[in-house]
Amino acid sequence: MNNGSGALFFAPLKKMPAQGVAVTLLLLAAVLALFNGSMSLPFQALLSGSSDGQSFAIEQAVLWHIRLPRVVLAILVGGSLAYAGAAIQGLFRNPLAEPGLIGVASGSALAVGLYIVFLDGVLSGYWALYGLNLFAFAGGCIASFLVLKVVRHWAAGSVTVLLLVGLAFNAITMSGNGLLTFISDDQQLRTMTFWTMGSLGRSEWGSVVASATLMIPALFWLRRYGVALNLMQLGERETEYSGFDVRRIQRNVIVASAVLVGAAVAAAGIIGFVGLIVPHLVRLVWGANHRTLLPLSFLLGGALLVFADTGARTLISPAELPVGVVTSLLGGPFFLWLLISQFRKNRL
């Protein structure tokens, strides 16, 4: 019997406790990220506190105020994107669904475009620091709220309609962004382009706390819908007959996902791939039970983004790559390999 290398690799993995594997991966990624960066840090001296009379003020600041918040934010952002992705895929019963379908990312992009073209440089103080993040979050939430409103008031409310309304909204916001591109100057254009490639370079404790206060409640709220999402796989009517309020599930899953993705986009710009692929990866290895799929997606999404961001920070230091480019570059081939090895195993 010819087992693909993937099957050989994943067979033992499946027998291990899934959560343990995911937590280990996340911790490994976090440690790797903390110990690597463009600045080499004297960890022994920093952690033991014995400085031998030397002052490590800059090194201390880099570790505690630059690198650590960045790793924490990467876990939150990557985790939230994958978590929302898993929930949305479950809700739509469509493996190609991703958080972008409910309008969050494109709504954020439009709001950020408006901010960059009309308000960047006009505002000062805290508004200048966090204005862009606020706009991104508000834009994402407003767009998905509108999508939901249109579907519930003027359309039947089925997921297919939801998908189409989402597509229409994406088209509208994209043309809005096209207009902004037209009237923007060179620098505004470049700022917008960089934003759409995603970066965790803007992390500091302030944005970590802001993101966490939005994300953590949404994560726990969404977790309560694990069983309902499992039932949804059988069909909307079947879920209804089992005593669940489908419209309520739909609304709450979308609102929670919009908060998660909106906060992630606000903190780090648009990072593709994580929300779409990580849930698939978890399903391929550990199955499609949403009660475990959701938390596992969070852990692995976080691990992937931390790992990718470490690459983004170190590959061309002292400059850095847009992290969105690295996530797809790392994750794409890995996912392809996983897919092929699964096909091979099933055929034999």
Partner 1 sequence: MRQLSFPSLLIGLLTMAGQAFADCPGRVVSIGGDITEIVYALEQEHCLVATDTTSVYPAKTDELPKVGYLRALSVEGIASLKPDLVIASDNAGPATIWPQLQTAGIPVVRVTAQTSLSAVEQKIEQVAAAFGISQRGEQLANSFRKRLQSTDAVPGRNTMPDSPQVLFILGHGGGTPMVAGEDTSAATIIQLAGGRNAFSGFSGYKPMTAEAVVQANPDIIVVTSQGQKQLGGVTGVLNLPGIKLTEAGKNRRVLDYDALLLLGFGLRTPSVLAQIKADFQESAEGE
Contact footprint for partner 1 (CB under 8 A):
37-40, 57-58, 61-62, 65-67, 128-129, 183, 185-187, 190-191, 194, 199, 201-204, 207, 313, 317-320, 322
Give the shortest CB-78-to-partner 1 separation in angstroms.
19
Half-sphere exposure of 28 (CA within 13 A, CB side): 8
Q: Which of 165, 158, 172 is nearest to 92 (CA)?
A: 158
Nearer to partner 1, 3 or 187 (CB): 187
Give the shortest CB-6-to-partner 1 separation in angstroms.
35
**Exposed/middle/buried for residue 218 (C-beta within 10 Å: 0-12, 13-18, 19+):** buried
Q: In sequence order, what are the residues at sequence separation of 6 or more whose Cβ sits closer than 8 angstroms to the Cβ of residue 279?
A: 82, 85, 86, 89, 293, 297
Give the shortest CB-26-to-partner 1 separation in angstroms.
21
Nearer to partner 1, 67 or 290 (CB): 67
Nearer to partner 1, 190 or 224 (CB): 190
CA distance 77 to 71: 10
Give the shortest CB-191-to-partner 1 separation in angstroms.
6
CA-based radius of gyration for the chain: 21
Torsion sign, CA atoms 13, 18, 20, 26: positive
Q: In sequence order, what are the residues at sequence separation of 6 or more whose Cβ sits closer than 8 angstroms to the Cβ of residue 216?
A: none
Nearer to partner 1, 2 or 182 (CB): 182
Q: Enter the tokens of residue 247.
A: 């419209």
Nearer to partner 1, 68 or 216 (CB): 68
Nearer to partner 1, 24 or 193 (CB): 193
Give the shortest CB-261-to-partner 1 separation in angstroms.
21
Give the shortest CB-22-to-partner 1 separation in angstroms.
27
Beta carbons of 197 and 57 less than 8 angstroms apart: no
